[in-house]
Amino acid sequence: MVPLAQREVPAALRRRVFVALVAALLGFGVLLAQLWNLQVLQGDELRASSDGNRIRLRRLQATRGTVLDRHGKVLVDSRPSFDAVLVAEDTRDLELTLETLGQLLGQSTAEMRNLLSHTGARPPFDEVIVKRDLNWDEVVAIETHQLDLPGVSLQITPRRQYPLGTELAHVLGYVGEVSPEDIAADPRYHLGDLVGKAGIEKHWERYLRGVNGGQQIEVDAVGRKLKVLREVEEEPGNAITLTIDLDLQQAASAALGDRAGSIVALDPTNGEILAMVTSPSFDPNAFARGIRRNEWRALVGDQNRPLSNRSIQGQYPPGSTFKFVVATAALEEGVINPFTRIRCGGGLQFGNHYFRCWKKRGHGSVNVHEALVHSCDVFFYQVAQRLGVDVIARYARVFGLGAPTGIGLDHEQAGTIPDTAWKRKRLKQPWYAGETLSVAIGQGYVTTTPLQMATAIATAATGKQYRPHLVARIETPDGETVHTETPELVGQLQVRETTLRQVRDALRDVVGKGTGKKARLDGIEVAGKTGTSQVVALGRQRPKASQLPRQHRDHAWFVAYAPADEPTIAVAALVEHADGGGGAVAAPIVREVMAKFFELQTTRQGHTYAQNRSTSHRAF
Amino acid sequence: MLRIDRRLIAHFDWPLLLCVLVLLGAGLTTVLSATHGPSHSASPLAVRQLIFALGGLAAMVAALCFDYRWLERYGYVPYAAALLLLVLTAAIGTSGGGARRWIPIGPFMLQPSEFAKLALIVALARYLHRQTGEGPLSLRAVGVPLLLFAPVALLILKQPDLGTAVAIGLTVGVILLIGGMQLRLVVLVAAIVGPALPFVWTHLKPYQQRRVLTFIDPQADPLGAGYHIIQSKIAIGSGLLHGKGFMQGTQNQLNFLPEQHTDFIFAVFAEEWGFLGSAALLGAYVVLLLRCIVVASRARDAFGTLLAFGLSAGIFCQVFINMAMAMGVLPVVGVTLPFFSYGGSSLLATMIAIGLLMNISMRRFTF
């Protein structure tokens, strides 16, 4: 055998083992005593507790915080709702109870049974909500039949409501019941709790949710409440004030009408979103009451994609609106000067491809000012060749294109600003010179979101880029401010003052006498840029919009700011598959938004709005 | 080396085996009762537990087949392996209920902390056996075991598994006292550790803090942590003298008890078998304890004594913490009840410990 270390057992060790044994026996003695205490001395009392399980735990759902517009108008709040709840174990005859209850509530017994089976592995004596949001007749019916309905009770819970319906739905988002994953991630949630599933509701969940409370209640044999033994009060969630101006928002919605598209209006001096319209929209109230399967399927299956927030998720070619970016690049890089003239004869032969100008007869000889005002494509084809795609892309990024703005909503898209590196990486192909011509007029691979275009024109207007944001401040129910959003400067145009002035002058004339005339306002100078972006290439003979199937029609863009010399609002409007170009369709929409904005400013005598504006404006 | 020595068979510890089989049987029926569905068919969990029990018996036999003094020689090998497993758990372990405690192996989940406990006991016995004499342990002789303990405890706390960490800590403390640590030193350690407690407190998870606070005032959080202890006491108390009968416990059958088949399984047993049954169960554990102490004191060498004692301490610290917790004598921390709680790793580790005890018992005359 292998020699192993061996030592005799020291006597002291044996002694200590004995002491430990005595200690352990004492410990078991304590356990035995406690067993005697619980099972014999307190036994009857505890048996009584167990027999009916007299003590129930009822959770008190916290009321979610409200969401307000910048002037304190309610966008989202909660109201009390009567729910019929059932504790299956308290019914004497579950079938009979379900049948009776079904008759009172106008639901079939099968429907009711279905409801119970859906809840899955729930703890017994758990309250199952049989029907939410009872009307008054139903409440009375249950109250009067209380004695025939053991195990059934009424419970008042806060119900989320969106008084504006479809208005702002994409921004506000909606709530739904927590998923098992939500509960696993945060044990403070319980089955049946509401949680923000999209938009502001989701992004600011931790402020809005509040803290649930609870009651320990003693009940009788049929589950009726005898007395509240203990109560932990719930704490309502915080109120969030948005930067949105509801009046402006509604005016913008009205301007867009039932057309599919998006409008984003923001304050170029601080990035506050004043209005954000996405159409078509959906009704978040449907989610609050528990969306039905067929409703959900209809929403998801709708070809018009009402659930998609076009303002931040729609990626569209910017078309000619992109030209102010290219013009800035060209002037700043010195490939042209304000006097450089280029002849437009209606198109440009490049390689074996003929690039048309939108104006068949051509613009004749134009400088950069005229090219922007009349949106001459040929001028920008030429300029783009001199700049090269990589330089254009660099400027586009400075204007905030090609990357999410970080507005704080889910699933914001980045758009695409192509350059040689991008194409090599994404398409594994070299960049072809002809493609630069498409980029020059905001076509080809270029895509942007309406929010990005609003940010870009705001940047052109002020030279500064603020991160667009929706939340102004957050307050507790007691009115204590817990969070104030401060404007975040994310970029500054590093271009010469003269370059900016030349571009702005041209943008002013776009509205004054160019393609954007329909955006003109009385008494306030508007500067902007039209755009009409092709969805499909249609060859030389481009038919009229009305002759095309809807999904092949062009998108109409208009981006603008005003007043031209000291901008206080920037707006981007996009109409999908419009029955006309940016100047005809989108410019009047922006005009209406701006008109409303300045009208509101006047009626509010300036001071309300000015109060809400941040300090950065005064510095401007 | 694996010689079949007649004396080994002659000295096989039959009383210990009998004791274990009784506890194992009672445990299995209680798991069956705690997990059976409304259809009154055996639950898949109970079937799994039966498989674990058979596997446990096999592991027990394996653990008595070699000369335990090999462990004296290679005592740090299992320790190193266990530490590695714990690190692995932290890296690739599966999360369940917010904790990262398991390594999936086929259809089973290995919980390394259960085996780390065993390995630590072996390593401590290995170390202390060369340190203990008639006199008290030196400061260094206390420091090294604490250094062995620290990484295991930290990795388990990180999972987080406060219960297992506490059980191991208590076991280590008991082993050190048996090894000859003076009470004076305990006071000294307390003086050092005491000021660190606020720091530990701030690093506990909120739910762990709540549990401790709940112990001080169970009514403070009747909806959360207090719920466990209230329901457990109701279950135990409502058993009265004779109990409600097998599978008749309403607290358990109506799912009032949380974690009824793992940490609170004693409450299920106590509800069904009453004071008489529970006292008998306590008695069975005491008999097992006495038998283990007999093994420890009869061992021929100091290593055997220390190992046997360490293993016994490991088992009984857990028995004590678990039962005391279920009865509301100690704060609620998650600790399994040896032979009873559902769970393969726990049962396997316990059975290996029993195997080692039998191993020591059998070889008390072999040299």
- Name the CA radius of gyration of chain B, rounded: 21
Q: Lowest-confidence range among A281-295, A378-392, B228-242, B342-356?
A: B228-242
Q: Which two tokens stand for residue B289?
A: 């304890």
Question: Judging by beta carbons within 10 Å of its beta carbon (0-12, 13-18, 19+), is residue A113 exposed, middle or buried?
Answer: middle
Q: Which of B1, B227, B237 sits opposite A38 (nearest CB)?
A: B237
Orientation angle between helical segments A389-398 and A433-440, nearest 10 degrees: 30
Closest to A511 (Cα-Cα) out of A571, A440, A451: A571
Which residues 37-76 of B are in CB contact (within 8 Å) with A? 67, 69-70, 72-73
Q: Which helix (H) or strand (E) holds A96?
A: helix A94-105
B69 and A10: CB-CB below 8 Å? no
Cβ B254–A14 below 8 Å, yes or no? no
B329–A31: do the CB atoms touch at under 8 Å? yes
Handedness of CA A594, A599, A605, A608 (dihedral sign): negative
| CA A588 to mean position of chain CA atoms | 27
- Residues facing A350 on adjacent strands: A353
Residue of A nearest to B328 (CA): A34
Q: At A112, phi and psi to the nearest 5?
A: -65, -45
The answer for A 109-168 residues in CB contact with B (under 8 A) is 123-125
Query: Is A9 in Cβ contact with B299 (below 8 Å)?
Result: yes
Q: Count CB atoms within 10 A of the CB of residue A492.
A: 12
Whose structure tokens read 């080809």?
Answer: A444
Q: At A82, is the secondary structure helix, strand, or coil? A: strand
From A4, A10, A13, residue closest to B69, measured CB to CB: A4
- For chain B, say whether A21 makes contact (Cβ under 8 Å): yes
Is the Cβ of A13 closer than 8 Å to some Cβ of chain B? yes
Single out the residue of A171, A157, A209 nearest to residue A477, CA to CA. A209
**Chain A residues closer than 8 Å to B303 by CB:** 5-7
CA B24 to chain centre: 14
H helix intervals, A230-367: 246-256, 285-288, 293-301, 310-313, 323-333
- CA A182 to mean position of chain CA atoms: 19
The amino acid present at A424, given as its one-letter code, is R
pLDDT in tens, B77-128: 999 999 998 888 888 777 665 567 788 777 778 888 889 999 999 999 888 8
Q: Given this model, what pLDDT does residue A618 score? A: 36
Locate the chain A residue with the closest alpha carbon to B277: A35
> Is residue B218 predicted with pLDDT exceeding 60?
no
Tell me the C-alpha distance between A362 and A383, whole Å. 17
Record the tokens describing residue A484, joined without a space.
């104030």
> CB-CB: which of B72, B254, B301 is closest to A9?
B301
HEC string of chain B equals: CCCCCHHHHHCCCHHHHHHHHHHHHHHHHHHHHHHCCCCCCCCHHHHHHHHHHHHHHHHHHHHHCCCCHHHHHCCHHHHHHHHHHHHHHHHHCEEECCEEEEEEECCEEECHHHHHHHHHHHHHHHHHHCCCCCCCCCHHHHHHHHHHHHHHHHHHHHCCCHHHHHHHHHHHHHHHHHHCCCHHHHHHHHHHHHHHHHHHHHHCCHHHHHHHHHHHCHHHCCCCHHHHHHHHHHHHHCCCCCCCCCCCCHHHHCCCCCCCCCCCHHHHHHHHHHHHHHHHHHHHHHHHHHHHHHHHHHCCEHHHHHHHHHHHHHHHHHHHHHHHHHCCCCCCCCCCCCCCCCCHHHHHHHHHHHHHHHHHHHHHHCC
Percent of chain B with pLDDT over 90: 25
Pairwise CB contact (< 8 Å): A43 & B239: yes
Pick from A170-179, A442-451, B27-36, B311-320: least confident: B27-36
Placement of tokens 């129910």 in the chain? A477
User: What residues pair up with A60 in beta bridges, in sequence order?
Assistant: A213
pLDDT along chain A (620 residues), means of 10: 52 81 91 90 78 68 93 93 80 79 80 62 64 85 83 85 94 88 75 86 93 75 66 87 96 95 96 96 87 87 91 95 96 94 92 89 93 95 95 95 93 94 93 93 94 97 95 92 92 92 95 92 94 72 65 90 95 93 93 95 65 40
pLDDT at residue B358, as a whole number: 92
Interface contact A125-B219, CB threshold 8 A: no
Q: Which residues of A touch B174 (CB under 8 A)?
A: 20
Residue partners of B58: CB distance under 8 A and separation at least 6: none
Q: How far apart are CA B54 and CA B138, in angstroms?
A: 43
Those of residues 386-445 in A touching chain B at CB distance below 8 A are: none
Distance from the A104 Cα atom to the nearest Cα atom in chain B, whole angstroms = 29
Tokens of A486: 């401060």
Residue B360 has pLDDT above 70, yes or no: yes
CB pairs under 8 A between A and B: 182
Contact check, Cβ <8 Å, A28/B285 = yes
Q: Is the Cβ–Cβ distance between B122 and B116 less than 8 Å?
A: no
Residues of chain A neighbouring B219 (CB-CB closer than 8 A):
230
| Chain B residues within 8 A of A184 when measuring between CB atoms | 97-98
Cα–Cα distance between B356 and B64 in angstroms, integer? 6
Compute the nearest-CA separation of B102 from chain A (Å). 17
**CA atoms lying within 13 Å on the CB side of residue A65:** 29
Q: How far apart are CA A454 and CA A267, in angstroms?
A: 10
Nearest to B282 among A31, A89, A216 (CB): A31
Catalytic machinery residues of A = 320
3-state secondary structure of A151: coil
Question: B129 and A42: CB-CB below 8 Å?
Answer: no
Check if A4 contacts B (Cβ < 8 Å). Answer: yes
Q: For residue B78, is the peptide bond before it cis, meaning its omega torsion is within 30 degrees of 0?
A: no
Cross-chain residue pair A184–B293, CB shorter than 8 Å: no
Residue contact B237–A39, C-beta within 8 A: yes
| Smallest CA–CA distance from A43 into chain B, residue | B237
**Closest-approach residue (CA) in chain A for B271:** A39
The per-residue pLDDT for B11 is 80
